[in-house]
Structure 1
Amino acid sequence: MKKNYLFWIAVCFSLVFNCSLAFGSQQGVEIQNVTLQESIDQALENNRSRPASRYAVAMAEAQHKQALSAYWPQVSATGGYEIKDDDPNFIFPASNISLPTITIPGLGALPLDSIEVPVQDVKLMDNESWKASLEAQWLLYDGGMRKGYSEQTAGLVEMMKQEVRRTDLELIDTVKRYYFGAVLATKLHNVGKETFERMEATLNLTETMYKEGSGSVKKTDWLDNKVMVESIRSMVALLEKNELMAQAALANVIGRPWHESVKPIDSELFYTPFGSELDQMVSSSYQFSPDWGKLESALRAAEGGVRTAKSGHYPKVAVTGELFKWWNDYDGGMSTDKNREGWTIGFGVQIPLFSGFLTKHKVAEAKARVSQLKEQRMLLKEGIGLQLKDVFLSLNAAEKAFNASQTAMEASTENRDLNTRAYQHGLVETEKVIRAQLVEALMQAQHYKVRYDHIALCSKVNLIVGTEWENQLKGQ
């Protein structure tokens, strides 16, 4: 039983849509040729997500420096002017001073009366005064509080740096997929144009054979062929649109203006066997994965939080000092040269006695956070291994599909050539020639799609474990 070749058209349409409709952008006006590395460099330079990540690093570094500032003495200078409604004074209360009995030789004892001292209003200083001082405070011992804050902020800095790496890896992965997606769209467009040209040539041959009345070709064959040619003509228009959309999407992801499009310089979808074992890939991922590095940094920060919480159990010891001078126009009372300027040095200790078990519960919370992150680390370890196993199996399947699809593509090309030559001599039917041409286009499209999938999977490996893993592999 002969197969209906319209089925192959449906398959071709389905494959074309799956390969091409993932690109959504506007058709560009200006088209420039770019290499893959140029695309990546421009994306890293122009993409707005990278500055946001780097500002997060700058914020974390500033917080870390804030924590380190607690190790230094804190020095401040103050100055001010003060005026009061009245001059400060001191009331010396009234008193009665008793005089002692005086004995005079020859006269005997002479008793003396007491002396009454009235209330005295003593002025201390003028109501206006100026003052300037230089104060210093240095924390000598804090029970590990400053070290804990330093560890927390240092862990935050590393977390933000890993987030920057994650942003860069995601951007590079996107550029690679869009770049080779544009190459794939061009390849499919070329396949469509070549198929259309061959089908159009077959249509002309069918028309000639039908009009000459050879008997082996009927008018229905010519009409079926014509329907097929016009259908492929519309498919080629769609493939051309998809090619332009893919180029515009690539321009968008690398930061070009909306009215520009870029075209990849590469015209082939390169294929390089992966050549690595799953165990090696998984073990290397823990060293280079930004997600793993971010979690490890978060764990170090949480351990610093435990140290900070525990410092609440210990005393705080500090040294304080002040150098001061003040000015007042009055020359009596408290306004003396000794009082107007001087310095003080102090030594203070703060010992926590009871806080309602607040410190105890803070320590428990910090320890629970550390335990939570350790469990999340185990989950991440299994998750990364599962992700890489899925990619590894997909790569194996893609490599097998590459060999099979390449063989099928070569066989379909040879089959189309034989059927075309046989058709010219009236040895095969029109339907078989059309089907052979459609099968060749389908096998070519499948093979190019397999190549693209293999490139995308290799890029996904770098996204999961980082580009350092690929560099290490190349250096072996």
Structure 2
Amino acid sequence: MSAFHRRGRFARGAALLGALLAALPAAAQQPAVTVSSPAPGARPLTLDEALRLAEDASETVQIARAGVTRARGDVLRARSERLPQLNGSLNYSRALASEFQSLGGGGGSDTTTAPAPACGRFAPNPSLPVAERLDSLEAAVNCAQNSNPFAAFSDLPFGRENTWQLGLSFSQSIFNGGRTAATNRIADAGRARAAIELNAQRAQLALDVTQAYYDAALSDRLVTIAEATLQQSETTLQQTRLARQVGNTPEFELLRAQVQRDNQLPLVIQRRADRDLAYSRLALLLDLPAGASLALTSPLDDSRAVPVARFAADEALLGDTTVENRAPVQQAITAVSTQESALRIARSQRLPTIAVTSQYGRVAYPTGAFPSLGDFRSNWTVGAGLTIPIFTGGRIRGDELVAEANLLESRARLRQVQDAARLDTRNALERLEQARAQYQASAGTVEQAARAYSIAEVRYREGISTQVELADSRILLQQAQANRAVAARDLQIAQARAALLPFLPLGTGQTGQSPQQQMQQQQTTPARPQQQGSAASQANAFTGGVQ
């Protein structure tokens, strides 16, 4: 380079430096760009605390726990059929009117006439004279005609006003064709299915809270990146405006810097709105007020395992990839067991049933309202019953056909669930490996992009590069920062899902995308060819589709 060119370059640099120093007061008057930070008094919240709060407040988990309690009740009810049944009873009744009152029963006595004299037993005496014998015979006949023929039943229930009954009933099933055993197996399968459902809901809740927590943390990071980018654009605009004032920059460069700064403002507004939505979703899962101020303290870039071990029914199964240990497969197996027992119950209807029964009772018919111990009389019966179906019009055969069809269907569904679980397990492992690879690949990209931008900024400030180069460096830095944040979030979600995989329903978290990512995929243009996945679409949103 000639001395003339060196002197000219030095003169331009000195003039630019002087203009910058002179314009510092004017630059200080430009509107400042504020970087968002947690509100004062925000509640610190770790991921572990969020998981605990969500479990205590989750209606879904409470419903699953109610299902477990209901299943325990079904088991107790089914087991009761094996044991004898003993019931006690106490009954009292008062007769207001009786058909036996007119017969001189115990319904009430007529006090309008004197009671007839008591008649003794007639005993003929051959030694008496004939006249006396005839008189005694006539008196006996007259007494018999005037006496109450039902007087001997006066202490029986005919027409009694008050009746007390004490009773005990006993029954025991001896044989019912295996119906009781099959009913108990159905109840046990229902309890196992309810327990599996509870574990699945707890695991699903842990995954949902983990995703909501890191979505909120990601939204914080994206807001920070967007605001930092806006601040960089503002700084570039100020530098370009100063350079324009000293005549070193054309008006085109000033307009370009102004447009780039203005294009960044809507993106900052959108990122803040996405952050508010992410925090609202997290607060909803934790049963906190919608406007609760939270400060997430668990770092997004922490690659350690998510603390979800306590949500596992068996910690030994954390991360297990065996298909038979998946919760949906276990539920399908219990469904097959239930249908097998239902078929056994349907077939047991063809067999006879034998039962033993006994009834013991104490009955009293007191003349007053309350009886004494001596008023009670005993009734006690013991019996055995045998029931054999002879003709049911095809009902039993119909029940068997329905049970057989249900069993075939449940077995087919079990095979379907096993195939789906095998594919879902492979998908989860592939996404975990992909998330790890993306996170490792983004490790040094942010530092390199930041270094490249700082160099481009110096080059532009010294006038040896264009604003296009500076803008491209800024875009690359934005993409690198966004890719790193999204990769960290995807890794955390993938690790949590892989750990809880045995307890999760099928297809849970297959997309692994946050609401911000799904929205941006619809609103932004495709990313650059060398970028793939959710991180690329997230980073591309910062550029507004500028390539």
1:327 is the counterpart of 2:340: no
Contact 1:33 1:262 in 2 (8 A): yes
Offset from partner CA, 1:232-274 (integer Å, 9 cap, x none): 2332233233323322321211111223132310233333699
Q: Secondary structure, in 3 states, of the residue corresponding to 1:61?
A: helix
Q: What residue in structure 1 maps to residue 352 of structure 2?
A: 315
> How far, CA to CA, are the matches of 1:419 and 1:437 in structure 2?
9
> Runs of 5+ in structure 1 lacking a partner?
1-26, 91-115, 275-279, 331-336, 468-476
1:59 to 38, 57, 70: 70
Contact 1:250 1:261 in 2 (8 A): no
Q: Secondary structure, in 3 states, of the residue corresponding to 2:423?
A: helix
1:149 is the counterpart of 2:186: no
Q: What residue in structure 1 maps to residue 42 of structure 2?
A: 31
Contact 1:248 1:262 in 2 (8 A): no
Classify 1:261/1:166 alpha carbon distance in 2 versus 1 (closer, same or farther; 3 Å).
farther
Q: What residue in structure 2 maps to residue 292 of structure 1?
A: 329
Q: What residue in structure 2 maps to residue 259 of structure 1?
A: 291
Contact 1:28 1:244 in 2 (8 A): no
Counterpart AA for 2:275: E
Contact 2:167 2:362 in 1 (8 A): yes
Classify 1:76/1:282 alpha carbon distance in 2 versus 1 (closer, same or farther; 3 Å).
closer
- Structure having the higher Rg: 2
> How far, CA to CA, are the matches of 1:464 and 1:363 in structure 2?
38
> How far, CA to CA, are the matches of 1:338 and 1:73 in structure 2?
31
Q: What is the CA RMSD across the aligned residues, in angstroms?
A: 3.1
Cα deviation, residue 205, structure 1 = 1.9
Classify 1:30/1:320 alpha carbon distance in 2 versus 1 (closer, same or farther; 3 Å).
farther
TM-score (norm 1): 0.76
Contact 1:30 1:260 in 2 (8 A): no
Q: What residue in structure 2 maps to residue 111 of structure 1?
A: none
Contact 2:43 2:295 in 1 (8 A): yes
5 Å-filtered alignment, 1:4-43, equals 31-43=42-54
5 Å-filtered alignment, 1:48-197, equals 48-78=59-89, 79-81=91-93, 83=95, 85-87=98-100, 121-122=149-150, 124=153, 125=156, 126-128=158-160, 129-197=163-231
Q: What residue in structure 1 maps to residue 424 of structure 2?
A: 387
1:240 is the counterpart of 2:240: no
> How far, CA to CA, are the matches of 1:247 and 1:283 in structure 2?
33
Cα deviation, residue 393, structure 1 = 2.8
Counterpart AA for 2:93: Y
Cα deviation, residue 199, structure 1 = 2.1
Classify 1:363/1:82 alpha carbon distance in 2 versus 1 (closer, same or farther; 3 Å).
farther
Offset from partner CA, 1:151-180 (integer Å, 9 cap, x none): 111111111111111211111111000111
5 Å-filtered alignment, 1:375-454, equals 375-454=412-491
Structure with bigger RCO (C-alpha 8 Å, 6+ apart): 1
Classify 1:213/1:259 alpha carbon distance in 2 versus 1 (closer, same or farther; 3 Å).
closer
TM-score (norm 2): 0.67
> How far, CA to CA, are the matches of 1:283 and 1:430 in structure 2?
53
Contact 2:449 2:476 in 1 (8 A): yes
Q: Secondary structure, in 3 states, of the residue corresponding to 2:437?
A: helix
Counterpart AA for 1:368: A
1:45 is the counterpart of 2:79: no
Q: What residue in structure 2 maps to residue 96 of structure 1?
A: none
> How far, CA to CA, are the matches of 2:467 and 2:378 in structure 1?
114
Classify 1:284/1:231 alpha carbon distance in 2 versus 1 (closer, same or farther; 3 Å).
same
> How far, CA to CA, are the matches of 1:349 and 1:338 in structure 2?
36
> How far, CA to CA, are the matches of 1:133 and 1:266 in structure 2?
69
Offset from partner CA, 1:273-305 (integer Å, 9 cap, x none): 99xxxxx97852421x22122222222222221
Cα deviation, residue 121, structure 1 = 4.9
Cα deviation, residue 462, structure 1 = 4.3
Q: What residue in structure 1 maps to residue 281 of structure 2?
A: 249
Aligned residues: 402
> How far, CA to CA, are the matches of 1:250 and 1:37 in structure 2?
13
Which sits farther off after the overlay, 185-194 or 175-184? Answer: 185-194
> How far, CA to CA, are the matches of 1:346 and 1:28 in structure 2?
81
> How far, CA to CA, are the matches of 1:179 and 1:440 in structure 2?
25
Counterpart AA for 1:148: A
Cα deviation, residue 329, structure 1 = 5.5
Q: Secondary structure, in 3 states, of the residue corresponding to 1:355?
A: coil
Contact 1:135 1:323 in 2 (8 A): yes
Q: What residue in structure 2 maps to residue 230 of structure 1?
A: 262
> How far, CA to CA, are the matches of 1:426 and 1:295 in structure 2?
71
Counterpart AA for 2:289: P
Q: What residue in structure 1 maps to residue 253 of structure 2?
A: 221
Cα deviation, residue 130, structure 1 = 3.0
Contact 1:40 1:175 in 2 (8 A): yes
Cα deviation, residue 379, structure 1 = 0.3
Q: Secondary structure, in 3 states, of the residue corresponding to 1:340?
A: strand
Contact 1:147 1:307 in 2 (8 A): no
Q: Secondary structure, in 3 states, of the residue corresponding to 1:139?
A: strand
Contact 1:323 1:342 in 2 (8 A): yes
Offset from partner CA, 1:125-173 (integer Å, 9 cap, x none): 3311333221111112211111111111111111111111121111111
> How far, CA to CA, are the matches of 2:485 and 2:48 in structure 1?
22
> Runs of 5+ in structure 2 lacking a partner?
1-37, 105-140, 307-317, 368-373, 505-547
Offset from partner CA, 1:11-61 (integer Å, 9 cap, x none): xxxxxxxxxxxxxxxx99973111111001100001122211111221121
> How far, CA to CA, are the matches of 1:338 and 1:399 in structure 2?
89
